[in-house]
Amino acid sequence: MTNNPIALLFVLTGLTIVVAGLLMHKFPPKKINNLYGYRTKRSKNSQESWEFAQKYSANQLAIYGSITGLIGLALLFIPINPTNAAVIISLIVIITLIIIPIVLTEKELKKRFE
């Protein structure tokens, strides 16, 4: 294994996202609010869409957080020189993996509730 700060970035980000997903799954907000949970216009349209969005987004976060962490674990075995380009590419990949659960949740809300 190599001393790879980019791998560490992926692992820690993935772990954080998984923990957030698990917490949302275990302790979903019961009522529509502006402080905690998956909060978008679509998710707040009704109590039913709110409850669905909390469960669905929590599962998506756990999945994509796991993918992010696994990428980091794989990168531990690849020597990468943390150049500016490598860091920028890594951040683009991580941000994409964070955005995907939001896009999927919104698509599913639209499909089920509109």
Domain tally for the chain?
A: 1
pLDDT in tens, the chain (114 residues): 567 889 999 999 999 999 999 999 999 999 999 999 999 999 999 999 999 999 999 999 999 999 999 999 999 988 888 888 888 999 999 999 999 999 999 999 999 998
Q: Using CB atoms within 10 A of its CB, is residue 76 exposed (0-12), middle (13-18) or buried (19+)?
A: middle
Q: Which helix (H) or strand (E) holds 34?
A: none
Around Cβ 2, how many Cβ atoms within 10 Å? 10
Range of the domain at 66: 5-113
| DSSP string computed for 58-81 | HHHHHHHHHHHHHHHHHHTTS---
